[in-house]
Structure 1
Amino acid sequence: MPGKTSGNHALIYGASGITGWAITNQLLEGYPSPDSFSKVTALTNRPLSAEQALWPKSDKLQIVSGLDLLTEKGQEGLEEEMKSKVKDMETVSHVYFFAYIMDPDPAKEIEINVRLLERAIKAVEHLSNALKFVVLPTGTKAYGVHLIDKFPFTPPLSESLPRIPEPHASEMFYYNQCDILNTLCASKSWSWCEIRPDVIIGFVPNNNIYCLAQALALYLSLYRHINGEGAEVQFPGTEQSYKILSNDSAQDLIAKFSIHYSLNPTLEAGAAFNTADNARASSWSEKWPVICEFFGLKGVGPPAGGSGSQPGDYVQAHLEEWKELETKHGLVGGRVGNDRSFGGFPYFIMTMFNFDRHMDMGKTHKTWGKAKEETDAKGAWWTAFERFRRAKIIP
């Protein structure tokens, strides 16, 4: 007799992003069990096939692309579009909200992202009576890590810490999103939680300037091509940033905890959870050699008083050699030499983050209980690199 399915229907907003991709992937791989969800709906901004995404083949999956959460037709227009495009919309039980629009103006970023979330959740509320749980990602920006020299806390960073001080708190859209979810779920039958990863290590099928693993995969593949196996690669940050302590957040573990807790919520609505590879903080001095080893290279520290090559600058300076690699190995193009390439993200993460910012994982691991999983630098980074290789993004 086949196992009885749960009837749960997962709706993933931003399913082609680093964590949205992983949530979808884990659900299709049957986490936590093959019958946990009957339907999985992946919403993506740009068109994406299951083959491009490297998701397992599954009758549970429907991919819906091009849904405009900010449509000029308003809330009603969005709901009409969702009703027509999303099959079995009335059965959606779990929402994983990973949509985000960046804006350099904090006031605009708050307005846009609060509206995104409010519309998305109200649409599900209005179209489905089955809604049980919403997962919202924030991150260590909730602790003010982006403030660099004004970082207000001493690690380990715990979920019990207060919000960052003004004027910075009023420029942090995460807080506004949390507040709107608390308002929306008041006196309702559904609940929600906030997950707080640090730098997310993972694969993306579409180009993503906030994907550090993609930036390093392209850089180190090219470095190996030009300099050969066994070449030394200096760390692209400083002597100080090479030694600071933090926790990486592997996309698979973020996804697994998010799914687990959404099915087994035990705390109050809006509970926050740090999400990371493991409870032990580590430094780039430990991770960099492991990362470089995947490419047959030897990762070493930065030169005294300086930094190694910046990944984006190095690739830009060797575009012809990269094109050679693409042709030789039949790679998928479009990852370098355009406005969706690298930017300053690797520099920000590997150089400007020059202070300890490790997290306390006690609450998350206690809540996860016997289902708890952990990994290490090799597990997080090499898994991402293998996926980029399978997707023909790197050789």
Structure 2
Amino acid sequence: MSTPQNHAVVFGATGLIGWAAVNQLLSNYPAPNTFASVTAVSNRPLDAQRTFWPKESSERPKVQLVSGVDLKSGELKEQLKDNVAGIEITTHVFYFVFAPHDEDHQEECKINCDMMRNLASALNALSPNLKSFVYSGGTRGYGIYIPGGIFAPPLDESMADTIPANYAKTVAYPWFRRILTDASAGREWTWTEVCPDVVVGFSAIGSNYSLALHWAQYLSLYAKNNGEGAEVVFPGNKEAYNARFTSVSSSILGRIAIHAALNPSSCGGKIINMSDRAEPTTFAEVWPRIASFFGLVGVAPGGAEGQRPSEYIETHGHLLGEYGKTAGVGAGRKQLDSVGWWLTFDRQLSAERLRSVGFNEEQDPSEGWIEAFSKFRDAEIIL
């Protein structure tokens, strides 16, 4: 496994999932010298002083930060060749990019499929040493956007290819699998789709769909205004509070993605669910622990619906510091608000395939929330 020539390129490196993968790569997971170099590609320019990745050392893989690569461009191949040093020796690609289009999910699907097809074509031309291509799917691919869901949990990977055709038109992941299967045919690389449900993690520049960030800003403001020991009601209803789901923390997520990349013989051509542990969790389990980080007492939802987190942040967000004001959840705030009212059904993931491919690490889901909150505070994104 220790092959110093390995070069990983991470697209979407500053987002919620991409940050986690780069963090684990630069932390020498699974062992020192597994990767010689890492290229972190982001859409926006990144301040190298605010990545919060492991600091440069003789033991850490070399890292280069690249911004301004347009995955929609007809000149993508030239952009990669000009901007990514070592693109020709790339061995592992991690793709954590998604362009949302909330108004039209079929158009969203087309945009993202075009980007994926464009990148796969460019890599085939530029990276003859490519071994694996790992990208993130999600439980949208299991139909959780349909009220009540489609399948009875636990959700296992075989279900993802049986979603109704009219729903599949609005979901990019099944089409990603076809695009990458075609692109890798007759070549030495393969793909893996890693599938999380609730991702609990950190991003230095914010993230449109980070529930941990959304709640961290809300709760830090709530604690400032109401004081230590104040009760804070779960933002949702009793059904969502008690519904079972699967969460995955930044550290576990990054390691699963790397494990899949390094084991194409067992993980290639497959969807693999991601989880902190095989046993599902509930917000009833984690909400009190989440609130306690901020000195608050988390309590179950009552009858009346209070102010939603995004509304509270909008009212009191002026209290946040410089970085907190610019690193919020942006366009995803309304969807994240609805988590506690909309996801009222059990939707936990099966961990059977994850264990069968040799990944056995587990941790208490609450630890992922605390780890993320601590990083947000260190980065001055929350109070």
Which of the five TM-score ranges fits, normalised by the shorter chain? over 0.9
- Listed as ranges, the matches of 1:240-259 within 5 Å are 240-259=239-258
- Listed as ranges, the matches of 1:76-225 within 5 Å are 77-104=75-102, 105-149=104-148, 151-161=149-159, 162-225=161-224
Residue 208 of structure 1 and its aligned partner are, at CA, apart by: 1.6
C-alpha distance in 1 between matches for 2:95 and 2:262: 15
C-alpha distance in 1 between matches for 2:99 and 2:323: 28
Q: Residue by residue, what CA displacement relative to the aligned partner does 1:96-118 show, whole Å, maximum 9, x if unpaired?
A: 01111011312211211111111
Aligned to 1:350: 340
- Listed as ranges, the matches of 1:379-390 within 5 Å are 379-390=367-378
Q: Residue by residue, what CA displacement relative to the aligned partner does 1:337-363 show, whole Å, maximum 9, x if unpaired?
A: xx9265212223221000000111011
C-alpha distance in 1 between matches for 2:146 and 2:90: 38
C-alpha distance in 1 between matches for 2:5 and 2:230: 53
Alignment CA distance shift 1:97-1:392 (3 Å): same
Q: Residue by residue, what CA displacement relative to the aligned partner does 1:72-118 show, whole Å, maximum 9, x if unpaired?
A: xx1xx211121111111111000001111011312211211111111
C-alpha distance in 2 between matches for 1:249 and 1:147: 22
Residue 263 of structure 1 and its aligned partner are, at CA, apart by: 0.7
Amino acid paired to 1:376: D
Moved over 6 A (4+): none
- Give secondary structure in 2 for the equivalent of 1:176: helix
Q: Residue by residue, what CA displacement relative to the aligned partner does 1:341-386 show, whole Å, maximum 9, x if unpaired?
A: 65212223221000000111011022125xx211113211011011
Which of 33, 37, 43 does residue 45 from structure 1 map onto?
43
- Listed as ranges, the matches of 1:221-232 within 5 Å are 221-232=220-231
C-alpha distance in 1 between matches for 2:224 and 2:178: 49
Alignment CA distance shift 1:110-1:258 (3 Å): same
CA contact 1:291–1:299 (8 Å) conserved in 2: yes
Aligned to 1:287: 286
Residue 267 of structure 1 and its aligned partner are, at CA, apart by: 3.0
Residue 307 of structure 1 and its aligned partner are, at CA, apart by: 3.4
Alignment CA distance shift 1:306-1:239 (3 Å): farther
Residue 186 of structure 1 and its aligned partner are, at CA, apart by: 1.3
* Count of aligned residue pairs for this structure pair: 377
Residue 148 of structure 1 and its aligned partner are, at CA, apart by: 2.0
Alignment CA distance shift 1:256-1:113 (3 Å): same
- Give secondary structure in 1 for the equivalent of 2:49: helix
Aligned to 1:333: 325
Q: Specify every segment of 5 or more residues in structure 1 that has no aligned partner in the other structure, as ranges.
A: none
Residue 331 of structure 1 and its aligned partner are, at CA, apart by: 5.1
Alignment CA distance shift 1:186-1:86 (3 Å): same
CA RMSD of aligned residues (A): 1.8
CA contact 1:312–1:342 (8 Å) conserved in 2: no
Alignment CA distance shift 1:207-1:268 (3 Å): closer
C-alpha distance in 2 between matches for 1:170 and 1:315: 35
Alignment CA distance shift 1:231-1:112 (3 Å): same
Amino acid paired to 1:229: E
TM-score computed with the length of structure 2 as normaliser: 0.94
Residue 55 of structure 1 and its aligned partner are, at CA, apart by: 1.1
CA contact 2:201–2:212 (8 Å) conserved in 1: yes
Residue 393 of structure 1 and its aligned partner are, at CA, apart by: 0.8
Q: Please tell me whether residue 364 in structure 1 is matched to residue 359 in structure 2.
A: no
Amino acid paired to 1:44: S
C-alpha distance in 2 between matches for 1:307 and 1:334: 28
CA contact 2:40–2:65 (8 Å) conserved in 1: yes
Shifted more, 354-363 versus 52-61: the winner is: 52-61
Amino acid paired to 2:325: G
Residue 196 of structure 1 and its aligned partner are, at CA, apart by: 0.8
C-alpha distance in 1 between matches for 2:332 and 2:183: 37
C-alpha distance in 2 between matches for 1:110 and 1:152: 20
Alignment CA distance shift 1:257-1:208 (3 Å): same
Amino acid paired to 1:253: I
CA contact 1:290–1:377 (8 Å) conserved in 2: no
Alignment CA distance shift 1:231-1:5 (3 Å): same
- Give secondary structure in 2 for the equivalent of 1:217: helix
- Give secondary structure in 2 for the equivalent of 1:171: coil
CA contact 2:317–2:325 (8 Å) conserved in 1: no
Q: Please tell me whether residue 64 in structure 1 is matched to residue 63 in structure 2.
A: no
CA contact 1:335–1:341 (8 Å) conserved in 2: no
C-alpha distance in 1 between matches for 2:335 and 2:264: 34
Residue 34 of structure 1 and its aligned partner are, at CA, apart by: 1.6
Q: Specify every segment of 5 or more residues in structure 2 that has no aligned partner in the other structure, as ranges.
A: none
C-alpha distance in 1 between matches for 2:162 and 2:142: 7
Q: Residue by residue, what CA displacement relative to the aligned partner does 1:9-48 show, whole Å, maximum 9, x if unpaired?
A: 0000100111100100100010011200011000001111
TM-score computed with the length of structure 1 as normaliser: 0.91
**Identical-residue share of aligned pairs (%):** 37
Aligned to 2:362: 374
Aligned to 2:301: 302
- Give secondary structure in 2 for the equivalent of 1:134: strand
Amino acid paired to 1:210: Y
- Give secondary structure in 2 for the equivalent of 1:187: coil
